[in-house]
């Protein structure tokens, strides 16, 4: 008892001292910023709200002009899109040496999945379900970005997406709010660390707030209309998790939400973000999303800029609506001095917290860049992260792992393709540093393996698609041979081999921004190639490159094995070869549902039951289903195979009845019953059987990634807390209602075992 009291006393003292320290630091900051702002003119205050590019187009039209002069005149708060410490230093020099008040600039960039060492695309990383690893990926990215002079990154992107036609599904963590929230928080911790003034951390910017992933028909920038309960329950949690983890900035999204563009949406930017969640940082718009409100139809530039500021937007990315109209709006009483001051203060506070007033060049050191970027250890990490992100979709007769002997025919447009290994967003990544599949296989296979190669087809023969992709970046190399000549060569090559490894899929920019697709099958020329390869009778392993779930029913039925490698990054080929030859046993699990056909979209595991669910054994008539396809996806959320096999016990609960805010545990026994050591992601889902808001059929509430040696058995214990039983009720408050709950555990969202408990 005495010891316990002492412990509590120490704990309270530490908390008190910490609170006192924070209070003193805040007071110091407040005084500094108050003094600074008292010297600022109105124009200089508005200048801090202006974010520019160095004068080129980044992800939209070129707007930023006369950038150096603007910095000198105090009309710029930050720049993004500058490459390298030297140029950054030059721009910072103008701000801190030549502007009247010497206020330093932010330097931002889209560092999305690695900076120079590129990791798998975020959708791929999310399939690792490995939260410490994802945090580490952000930490390495921060170290490289900071060494390159940057202090601000536009990541994590946490938009929940249920529509694989939407190209930007590649940039996020899939469809689930629980998994997405864990990843969002981990990335913020990885980028920001514990100290934003350290020289290996950068300020994160969670985006795109909010609901960008729910664009109608999966078409980029499209309209979003959603009930508040749905947004609170399924779409907003990852943004909130980033805020709870202390993210320094938030980016508003391009889309409208319920008729009001997100960039001027008071409900989102002020009521939810600041008032409910207590966000203390600043909000930046997306690229020209202020001026795009003119197209949305909510007013001219002056009107929309005032709307945005009043709604809670602090910084205008590129549109210069704030810069050119806020003064007039103040004179006309459309915004107040306080509106401008609040936004300016938030921007300055962020600079203060980053230590930029003490050392504006903290992140800018050419020597550091030379020694911290693309190091051997970062490349090794990229290789390991990639291996953990791959999802084994099919492996009949254990054709994988491949033997290190015999002849392998490596076929396909992505087998020897350095240009397309990195995926979307790799601004500083350089594709000529990537390891291709053929290189990787040769590095790993050893001299007993004879590797033959044929391209077999282009990534696409669709001229509209090829033009749209290649106009931006030449990623689809159109061969001078006819499709038939390429197929003939591929078939002749396959005929000489023991096994065919077909590297198929998308070009890097077939997903990402402005890369929505209405047909998400493999391109016709690749399907023709695959059909020809299958007709040789040789076993065919597909290595699939993709930034989205694809329609793969035919492939799933006909090929022997399929490994989804997403876009693996700098170390692509080595990581793929490691997995194909079994140096690493795949453990990835899908973070998005793969539909059977495009007509099933949106399809997601945490759907509602409807009043007419199709239960097993039911006839079709008058049920919620389709005439021409079943309701099941091709691969469910959480799915992914291993070279070994695992068995799961039923979940065993510590209690079958709980009351008040009591919790309970669920224990599952998992055994590795196959022939390889391996990792398994043990998943826990809950279903509230009766509730005042119609509940989803199941929701992920926990997962643990465990390693089991061949023959080993482990018990996995999940805590189920009161908060796990809560949902957003009619008044948008979280509630847990008494009644029966189903607890489901298993290796994916479909193959679960179930038990129940009651909340009194």
| Binding residues vs ligand NOJ (CB under 6 A) | 58-59, 110, 154, 207-208, 286-287, 513
Q: How far is the CB of 427 from ligand NOJ (least distance, A)?
A: 9
Nearer to ligand NOJ, 510 or 681 (CB): 510
Contact 245, 184 (CB under 8 A): yes
- Nearest residue to 606 (alpha-carbon basis) of 156, 130, 179: 179
The CA-based dihedral angle spanning residues 441, 443, 449, 455, taken in that order and rounded to the nearest 10 degrees: 40
**Torsional class of 567: left (φ above 0), alpha (ψ -120 to 50), beta (otherwise):** beta
**Kindly report the CA angle at 73 between 72 and 78, in degrees rounded to 5?**
70
Nearer to ligand NOJ, 64 or 417 (CB): 64
Contact 652, 622 (CB under 8 A): no
Q: How far is the CB of 81 from ligand NOJ (least distance, A)?
A: 7
Beta bridge partners of 669: 715
Q: How far is the CB of 286 from ligand NOJ (least distance, A)?
A: 5
Nearer to ligand NOJ, 211 or 340 (CB): 211
DSSP string, 202-238: -B-EEEEETTGGG-GGG-TT--B---HHHIIIIISHH
Q: How far is the CB of 157 from ligand NOJ (least distance, A)?
A: 6
DSSP string, 78-89: EEE---SHHHHH
Q: How far is the CB of 514 from ligand NOJ (least distance, A)?
A: 9
Contact 125, 134 (CB under 8 A): yes
Contacts 24+ apart (CB under 8 A), 38-45: 39/101, 40/74, 40/101, 40/344, 41/74, 42/327, 42/330, 42/340, 43/73, 43/74, 43/75, 43/327, 44/74, 44/100, 44/101, 44/103, 45/340, 45/341, 45/344
Nearer to ligand NOJ, 110 or 461 (CB): 110
Nearer to ligand NOJ, 347 or 504 (CB): 347
Q: How far is the CB of 323 from ligand NOJ (least distance, A)?
A: 18
- Nearest residue to 210 (alpha-carbon basis) of 192, 185, 228: 228
Nearer to ligand NOJ, 170 or 435 (CB): 170
HSE, CB side, 13 Å, CA atoms: give it for residue 118: 28
Question: What is d(CA 385, CA 577) in angstroms, rounded to the nearest whole number?
Answer: 14
Nearer to ligand NOJ, 111 or 559 (CB): 111
DSSP string, 49-77: TEEE-SSS-SSS-----SHHHHHHTT--S
Contact 407, 450 (CB under 8 A): yes
Q: How far is the CB of 63 from ligand NOJ (least distance, A)?
A: 12
Nearer to ligand NOJ, 58 or 411 (CB): 58
Q: How far is the CB of 513 from ligand NOJ (least distance, A)?
A: 6
DSSP string, 362-388: TTB-HHHHHHHSS-HHHHHHHHHHHHH
Nearer to ligand NOJ, 59 or 136 (CB): 59
Find the catalytic residue in 286, 434, 564, 578: 286
Q: How far is the CB of 615 from ligand NOJ (least distance, A)?
A: 42
Nearer to ligand NOJ, 222 or 450 (CB): 222
Task: State which H helix or E strand residue 123 sits in.
Answer: helix 122-126
CB neighbour list of residue 689: distance below 8 Å, 6 or more residues apart: 695, 739, 740, 741, 742, 756
Nearer to ligand NOJ, 209 or 566 (CB): 209
Question: What is d(CA 47, CA 75) in angstroms, rounded to the nearest whole number?
Answer: 4
312-331 in b/e burial notation, b at 16+ Cβ within 10 A? bbbbbbbbbbbbbbbbebbe
Contact 317, 323 (CB under 8 A): no
DSSP string, 144-202: HHHHBT--EE---B------TTSGGGGGS--S-HHHHHHHHHHHHHHHHTT-TTSTT--
Contact 191, 140 (CB under 8 A): no
For the question of residue 498 being annotated catalytic, the response is no
List phi, psi (to 5°) of 327.
-60, -45
DSSP string, 571-630: THHHHHHHHHTTSS------SSPBPSSGGG-S--TT-B--SS---TT--STTSSS-SSS-
Nearer to ligand NOJ, 171 or 387 (CB): 171
Question: What is d(CA 745, CA 607) in angstroms, rounded to the nearest whole number?
Answer: 18
Just list the catalytic residues.
Answer: 286
């Amino acid at each position: 008892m005495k010891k316990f009291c002492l412990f509590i006393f120490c704990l309270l003292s530490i908390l008190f001292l910490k609170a006192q320290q924070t209070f003193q630091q805040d007071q110091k900051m407040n005084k500094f910023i108050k003094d600074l702002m008292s010297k600022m003119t109105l124009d200089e205050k508005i200048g801090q709200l202006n974010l520019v590019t160095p004068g080129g187009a980044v992800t939209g039209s070129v707007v930023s002009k006369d950038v150096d002069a603007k910095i000198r005149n105090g009309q710029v708060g930050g720049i993004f899109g500058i490459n390298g410490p030297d140029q950054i230093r030059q721009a910072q020099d103008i701000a801190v040496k030549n502007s009247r008040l010497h206020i330093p600039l932010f330097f931002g960039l889209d560092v999305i999945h690695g900076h120079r060492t590129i990791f798998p695309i975020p959708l791929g990383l999310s399939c690792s379900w490995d939260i410490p690893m994802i945090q580490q990926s952000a930490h390495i990215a921060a170290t490289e970005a900071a060494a390159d002079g940057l202090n601000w990154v536009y990541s994590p992107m946490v938009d929940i997406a249920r529509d694989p036609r939407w190209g930007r599904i590649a940039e996020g963590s899939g469809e689930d709010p629980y998994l997405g929230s864990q990843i969002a928080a981990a990335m913020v911790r990885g980028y920001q660390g514990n100290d934003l003034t350290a020289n290996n951390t950068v300020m994160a910017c969670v985006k795109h707030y909010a609901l960008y992933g729910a664009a109608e028909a999966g078409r980029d920038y499209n309209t979003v209309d959603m009930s508040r309960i749905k947004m609170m329950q399924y779409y907003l949690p990852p943004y909130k998790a980033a805020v709870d983890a202390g993210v320094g900035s938030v980016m508003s999204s391009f889309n409208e939400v319920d008729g009001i563009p997100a960039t001027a949406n008071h409900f989102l930017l002020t009521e939810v973000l600041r008032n409910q969640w207590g966000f203390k940082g600043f909000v930046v718009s997306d690229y020209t999303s202020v001026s795009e409100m003119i197209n949305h139809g909510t007013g001219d530039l002056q009107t929309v800029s005032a709307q945005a500021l009043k709604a809670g937007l602090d910084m205008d990315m590129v549109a210069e609506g704030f810069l050119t109209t806020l003064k007039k709006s103040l004179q006309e009483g459309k915004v107040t001095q306080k509106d401008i001051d609040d936004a300016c203060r938030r921007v300055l506070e962020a600079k203060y917290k980053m230590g930029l007033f003490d050392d504006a060049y903290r992140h800018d050191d050419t020597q550091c860049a030379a020694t911290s970027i693309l190091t051997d250890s970062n490349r090794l990490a990229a290789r390991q992260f990639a291996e953990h992100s791959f999802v084994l979709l099919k492996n009949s007769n254990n054709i994988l792992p491949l033997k290190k002997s015999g002849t392998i025919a490596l076929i396909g447009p992505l087998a020897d393709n350095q240009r397309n290994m990195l995926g979307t967003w790799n601004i500083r990544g350089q594709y000529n540093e990537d390891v291709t599949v053929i290189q990787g296989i040769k590095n790993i296979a050893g001299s007993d393996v004879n590797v033959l190669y044929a391209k077999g087809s282009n990534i696409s023969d669709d001229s509209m698609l090829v033009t749209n992709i290649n106009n931006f970046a030449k990623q689809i190399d159109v061969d001078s041979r006819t499709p038939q000549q390429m197929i003939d060569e591929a078939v002749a090559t396959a005929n000489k081999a023991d096994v065919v490894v077909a590297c198929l899929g998308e070009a890097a920019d077939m997903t990402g921004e402005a890369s929505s697709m209405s047909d998400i099958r493999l391109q016709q020329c690749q399907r023709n190639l695959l059909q020809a390869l299958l007709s040789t009778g040789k076993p065919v392993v597909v290595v699939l490159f993709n930034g989205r779930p694809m329609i793969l029913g035919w492939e799933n039925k006909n090929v022997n094995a399929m490994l989804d490698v997403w876009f693996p990054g700098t170390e692509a080929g080595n990581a793929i070869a490691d997995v194909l030859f079994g140096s690493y046993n795949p453990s990835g699990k899908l973070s998005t549902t793969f539909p059977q056909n495009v007509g099933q979209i949106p399809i997601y595991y945490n759907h509602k039951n409807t009043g007419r669910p199709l239960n097993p054994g039911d006839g079709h008539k008058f049920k919620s289903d389709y005439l021409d396809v079943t309701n099941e996806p091709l691969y469910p959320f959480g799915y992914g195979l291993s070279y070994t096999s695992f068995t799961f016990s039923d979940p065993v609960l510590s209690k079958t009845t709980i009351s008040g805010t009591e919790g309970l545990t669920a224990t599952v026994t998992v055994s590795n019953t196959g022939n390889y050591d391996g990792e398994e992601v043990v998943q826990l889902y809950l279903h509230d059987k009766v509730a005042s808001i119609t509940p989803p059929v199941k929701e992920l509430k926990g997962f643990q990634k465990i390693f089991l040696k061949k023959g080993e058995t482990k018990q996995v214990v999940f805590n189920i807390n009161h908060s796990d039983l809560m949902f957003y009720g009619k008044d948008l408050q979280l509630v847990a209602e008494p009644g029966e709950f189903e607890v489901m555990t298993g290796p994916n969202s479909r193959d679960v075992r179930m038990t129940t408990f009651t909340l009194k």
